[in-house]
């Protein structure tokens, strides 16, 4: 029997995906603030935060629950970023005070998707 790709199942071609209880999305404009909190009313397990310049996708920052507290991964280089994104019980926090300030660069637009 063929597996259902989008009909509520969590397996596609043998790959098991986590079941998601909640999804939220949003947008913020970078302001270079350190420890900026984004409220999503639940603690995410996965986060995709991507920067947009003049309406064009540039690259994403990906955070999962199994990463260290402030760690994320940049999609452009695959580099693990310390001091970038932290999950909170009611959302996530971005840290612009570390070496990797790309998650809150001044006047850049950021779209994000949080999953639980």
Mean pLDDT across the chain: 79
Pairing of strands 23-29, 15-16: unpaired
pLDDT digits (tens, 9 = 90+) for 42-65: 999 999 998 877 766 677 888 999
pLDDT digits (tens, 9 = 90+) for 57-115: 677 888 999 888 888 888 777 778 778 899 999 999 998 755 556 788 888 889 999 99
The first and second tokens of residue 77, run together, are: 């280089």
Please, what is the end-to-end C-alpha distance for the chain in angstroms?
29
The first and second tokens of residue 86, run together, are: 């932290």
């Amino acid at each position: 029997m063929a597996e259902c790709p989008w009909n509520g199942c969590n397996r596609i071609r043998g790959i098991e995906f986590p079941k998601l209880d909640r999804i939220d999305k949003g947008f913020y404009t970078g302001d270079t603030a350190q420890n900026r909190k984004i409220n999503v009313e639940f603690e995410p397990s996965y986060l995709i935060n991507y920067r947009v310049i003049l309406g064009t996708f540039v690259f994403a920052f990906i955070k999962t629950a199994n990463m260290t507290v402030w760690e994320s991964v940049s999609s452009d280089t695959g580099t693990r970023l310390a001091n970038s994104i932290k999950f909170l019980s009611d959302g996530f926090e971005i840290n612009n005070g570390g070496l990797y300030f790309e998650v809150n660069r001044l006047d850049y637009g950021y779209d994000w998707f949080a999953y639980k």
